[in-house]
């Protein structure tokens, strides 16, 4: 079983990112469980989303406390909260940032990856310049770095799950996949 | 077709595939997506149903009752304070023998204001005469809606499909969406023995003198007693068509167990993982998940739990001044039975506090140590 925690801010599509990823993984016969932080969300406030992935049915319905990996959709959260809380040794930290991984000072038991999903989202005109929607680009990077699923499955999941300009979102995911 | 859907939408798809004809509902967190999707389905023609907007849950149920009396298959959904506001109408539904099917998202009652899960909302409606199913996965939610319409309409008793707030309602899982033509074969159109129509006038819900009232209640109880066998029968029929059996309870490794957890809802699935982990450590644990709570599955409880040395009942609810409600019911079912186990009662997870695999290990530690089971309430994860 793989458990991943997503960190974002309300309005960035973090929960949708976890849902798209779940859709893509289910297409390849995986069992998945994706859920948002249980509660109320506010635009701009830190939000969480979680996903469990397994080759067999998932019975554990409790929350994820010790994720295998974390994905940070909004890089300002690295300063604001401890994104490594509960993260297992050897865990990957995938950050949306235009900085190289070395820029982030995390304990060496974690491995840091960065992807400039914001730049990709802006290039494909997803969301607005002030508030680009980076979630589809992030999923492209995540499936590559964690070797989770085929790009075709992700593209299909985006086409089915995103009703506004799905093809631009697919292109963003592909570009992030290639750059990651 | 497999789809990744949230528990709330599993209710919506269940109602859609059951070809619900009238839906009346009032939105409340965490139920909102159930009726959002159904209203979209009604608007775009996916579902040929009348969607009635109402100003409160009391009116939602009242509208459902009128529609049901007129012979329409009727669905609604609510949660917590909304369910409480329906309370009077719940008695009308069961007493008037109107087979409405309703989703209830288990949410803790206020105050303190909460949107998170526990079972006190639905268990407060225990004695209204509704059938109650507590579900543990989104697949089970969808399948049970379809089964519930069949059971309810056969016996003219309403059903409540119950799922945990967030842990199921907002959690996405892979769900097999059954094919419509197969569902149609399982669930024929609603054809009530009586209905409200000018062509064949009847009076409904009229004054009932002491000469007659008690017989109505006797008949409701007698029909309630038929539910367990009908759940088994329809559950097997469902399995033949869809490959998934829908029973009253789920037994997991109970046969040789020294300790059996009695669970419900999502905790009833987490318990299975805890059982696996305890068994790896050499502790013979098992899990007995109660899905059908009303009517209470007396025979299954006795057949499985008699002779088990220790039983630990987990309650995500409390009857203040007494104990956890499942605990009371399990004890009453086993009272006077031969080889009655030691039965321990635990309260956990109120107001959405998480129930984890460790919660069950704590429960096992307690239940395996004690040689006597008293009336003590053991609180798991409470800050005293």
**Residues A92/A145, Cβ–Cβ less than 8 Å:** yes
Instruction: Quickly tell me which residue has 């950050």 as its tokens.
Output: A95
**Residues A86/B294, Cβ–Cβ less than 8 Å:** no
**Per-residue model confidence (pLDDT) at position A40:** 73
CA atoms in the 13 A half-sphere facing the CB of B135? 30
pLDDT digits (tens, 9 = 90+) for B200-238: 999 999 999 999 999 999 999 999 999 999 999 999 999
Distances B360 to B164, B311, B348 between C-alpha atoms, Å: 18, 12, 10
CATH number reported for the structural domain that contains residue B310 in this entry: 3.40.50.920
Among B218, B241, B264, which residue terminates a domain?
A: B241
**Residues B381/B347, Cβ–Cβ less than 8 Å:** no
CB contact under 8 A, A22 and B4: yes
Tokens representing B146 are: 């379809």
Q: Which residues share a beta bridge with A71? A: A6, A94
Is pLDDT of B80 > 80? yes
Please give the Cα distance from A33 to B171 (Å, whole number).
7
Among B241, B264, B296, which residue terminates a domain?
A: B241
Please give the Cα distance from B262 to B254 (Å, whole number).
10
Distances B92 to A58, B15, B277, B283, B384 between C-alpha atoms, Å: 40, 22, 46, 48, 41
**Per-residue model confidence (pLDDT) at position B234:** 98
Q: What is the mean pLDDT of residues B326-340?
A: 96
For A48, the 3-state DSSP assignment is: strand
Q: Is residue B36 part of a domain?
A: yes
Q: Which residues share a beta bridge with B162? A: B104, B134
- Compare CB distances from A22 to B166, B167, B172 and report the shortest one's residue: B172
CATH number reported for the structural domain that contains residue B19 in this entry: 3.40.50.970
Q: B1 to chain A nearest CA, in Å?
A: 11
CB contact under 8 A, B270 and A61: yes
CB contact under 8 A, A61 and B2: no
Residues 6+ apart with CB under 8 A from B232: B247, B248
Q: Are residues B229 and B325 in the same domain?
A: no
Give me the domain span that covers residue B366. Answer: 252-379
Q: Which residue has the higher pLDDT, B384 or B321?
A: B321
Q: Are residues B209 and B318 in the same domain?
A: no
The distance in angstroms from the start CA to the end CA of chain A is 23
Is pLDDT of B380 > 90? yes
pLDDT digits (tens, 9 = 90+) for B13-50: 999 999 999 999 999 999 999 999 999 999 999 999 99
User: What is the tally of structural domains in chain B?
Assistant: 2
Please give the Cα distance from A172 to B249 (Å, whole number).
47
- Among A83-87, B59-63, B372-376, the minimum mean pLDDT is found in B372-376
**Per-residue model confidence (pLDDT) at position B191:** 96
Distances B54 to B26, B30, B64, B88, B94 between C-alpha atoms, Å: 6, 18, 11, 17, 21
Please give the Cα distance from B119 to B329 (Å, whole number).
15
- In this prediction the ipTM stands at 0.96
CB contact under 8 A, B170 and A36: yes
Give the count of beta carbons closer than 10 Å to the beta carbon of residue B289. 21
Strands A111-115 and B101-106: unpaired
Q: Is residue B155 part of a domain?
A: yes
- What are the DSSP E strand ranges found in chain A? 2-9, 31-36, 46-54, 69-72, 92-96, 111-115
Q: Are residues B58 and B160 in the same domain?
A: yes
Closest CA to B18 of B174, B266, B185, B237: B185
CATH number reported for the structural domain that contains residue A167 in this entry: 3.40.920.10
CB contact under 8 A, B173 and A33: yes
**Per-residue model confidence (pLDDT) at position A39:** 74
Tokens representing B43 are: 């608007």
CA atoms in the 13 A half-sphere facing the CB of B189? 4
pLDDT digits (tens, 9 = 90+) for B123-182: 999 999 999 999 999 999 999 999 999 999 999 999 999 999 999 999 999 999 999 999
Closest CA to B372 of B339, B347, B344, B335: B344
pTM for the full model? 0.97
CB contact under 8 A, B273 and A60: yes
Q: Is residue B295 part of a domain?
A: yes
Q: What are phi and psi of B180, to 5 degrees?
A: -60, -40
CA atoms in the 13 A half-sphere facing the CB of B10? 33
Is pLDDT of A38 > 80? no
Dmax over CA atoms of chain A, in Å, equals 42
**Per-residue model confidence (pLDDT) at position B325:** 98
In chain B, what residues touch A22 (CB-CB under 8 Å)?
A: 4, 172
Q: Is residue B346 part of a domain?
A: yes
CB contact under 8 A, A39 and B116: yes
User: What is the tally of structural domains in chain A?
Assistant: 1
Q: Is residue B109 part of a domain?
A: yes
Instruction: Provide the mean pLDDT of chain A.
Output: 95
In chain A, what residues touch B136 (CB-CB under 8 Å)?
A: 61
Task: Give the chain B residue whose CA is nearest to the CA of A53.
Answer: B173
Q: Are residues B42 and B161 in the same domain?
A: yes
Strands A92-96 and B285-290: unpaired
Q: Does A63 touch chain B (CB under 8 A)?
A: yes
- Compare CB distances from B172 to A33, A40, A65 and report the shortest one's residue: A33
Q: Is residue B115 part of a domain?
A: yes
How confident is residue A133, by pLDDT bands cut at 50, 70 and 90? very high
Q: Does A60 touch chain B (CB under 8 A)?
A: yes
Q: Is residue B95 part of a domain?
A: yes
Give me the domain span that covers residue A7. Answer: 2-179
Q: Is residue B384 part of a domain?
A: no
Instruction: Quickly tell me which residue has 């635990």 as its tokens.
Output: B346
Task: Give the chain A residue whose CA is nearest to the CA of B272.
Answer: A59
Please, what's the b/e burial string for B323-354 (b: 16 or more CB within 10 A of its CB; e: otherwise)? Answer: bbbbbebbbebbeeeeebbbbbbbbbbbbbbb
Residues 6+ apart with CB under 8 A from B179: B1
Q: Are residues B343 and B198 in the same domain?
A: no
**Per-residue model confidence (pLDDT) at position B42:** 98
Query: Cα–chain-centroid distance for residue B196?
Result: 29
Give the count of beta carbons closer than 10 Å to the beta carbon of residue A40. 9
Among B191, B208, B241, which residue terminates a domain?
A: B241
pLDDT digits (tens, 9 = 90+) for B367-378: 999 999 888 999
CB contact under 8 A, A34 and B273: no
A-B CB pairs within 8 A amount to 62
For A4, the 3-state DSSP assignment is: strand
Is pLDDT of A41 > 80? no
In chain A, what residues touch B261 (CB-CB under 8 Å)?
A: none
């Amino acid at each position: 079983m793989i458990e991943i925690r997503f960190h974002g801010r309300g309005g960035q599509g973090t929960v949708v990112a976890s849902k798209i990823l779940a859709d893509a993984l289910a297409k390849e016969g995986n069992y998945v469980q994706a859920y948002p932080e249980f509660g109320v969300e506010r635009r701009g406030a830190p939000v969480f989303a979680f996903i469990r992935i397994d080759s067999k049915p998932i019975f554990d319905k409790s929350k994820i406390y010790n994720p295998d990996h974390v994905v940070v959709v909004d890089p300002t959260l690295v300063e604001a909260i401890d994104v490594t809380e509960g993260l297992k040794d050897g865990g990957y930290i995938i950050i949306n940032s235009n900085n190289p991984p070395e820029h982030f000072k995390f304990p060496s038991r974690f491995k840091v990856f960065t992807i400039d999903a914001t730049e990709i989202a802006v290039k494909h005109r997803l969301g607005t310049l002030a508030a680009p929607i980076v979630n589809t680009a992030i999923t492209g990077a995540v499936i590559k770095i964690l070797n989770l699923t085929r790009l075709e499955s992700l593209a299909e999941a985006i086409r089915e799950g995103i009703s506004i300009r799905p093809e631009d979102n697919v292109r963003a995911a592909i570009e992030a996949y290639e750059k990651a | 077709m497999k789809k990744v859907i949230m528990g709330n939408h599993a209710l919506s798809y269940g109602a859609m595939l059951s070809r619900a004809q009238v839906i009346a509902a009032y939105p409340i967190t965490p139920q909102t997506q159930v009726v959002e999707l159904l209203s979209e389905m009604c608007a775009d023609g996916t579902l040929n149903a009348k969607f009635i907007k109402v100003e409160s849950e009391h009116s939602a149920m009242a509208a459902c009752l009128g529609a049901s009396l007129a012979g329409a298959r009727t669905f609604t959904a609510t949660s917590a304070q909304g369910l409480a506001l329906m309370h009077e109408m719940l008695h009308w539904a069961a007493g008037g023998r109107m087979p409405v099917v309703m989703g209830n998202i288990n949410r803790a009652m206020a105050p303190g204001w909460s949107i998170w899960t526990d079972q006190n909302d639905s268990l407060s409606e225990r004695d209204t005469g509704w059938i109650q199913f507590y579900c543990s996965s989104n697949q089970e939610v969808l399948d049970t809606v379809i089964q519930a319409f069949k059971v309810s309409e056969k016996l003219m008793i309403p059903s409540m499909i119950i799922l945990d707030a967030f842990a199921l309602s907002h959690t996405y899982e892979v769900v097999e969406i059954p094919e419509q033509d197969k569902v149609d074969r399982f669930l024929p159109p609603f054809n009530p023995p009586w209905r409200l129509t000018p062509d064949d006038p009847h009076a409904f819900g009229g004054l009932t003198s002491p000469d007659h009232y008690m017989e109505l209640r006797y008949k409701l109880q007698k029909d309630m007693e038929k539910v367990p066998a009908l759940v088994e029968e329809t559950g097997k029929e469902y399995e033949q068509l869809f490959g998934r059996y829908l029973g009253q309870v789920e037994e997991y490794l109970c046969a040789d167990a020294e300790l059996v957890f009695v669970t419900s809802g999502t905790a009833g699935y987490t318990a299975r993982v805890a059982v696996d982990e305890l068994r790896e450590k050499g502790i013979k644990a098992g899990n007995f998940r109660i899905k059908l709570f009303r009517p209470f599955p007396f025979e299954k409880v006795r057949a499985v739990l008699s002779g088990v040395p220790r039983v630990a009942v987990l309650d995500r609810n409390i009857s203040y001044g007494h104990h956890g409600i499942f605990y009371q019911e399990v004890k009453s079912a086993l009272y006077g039975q031969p080889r009655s186990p030691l039965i321990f009662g635990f309260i956990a997870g109120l107001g959405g506090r998480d129930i984890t695999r460790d919660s069950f290990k704590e429960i096992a530690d307690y239940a395996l140590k004690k040689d006597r089971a008293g009336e003590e309430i053991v609180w798991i994860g409470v800050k005293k």
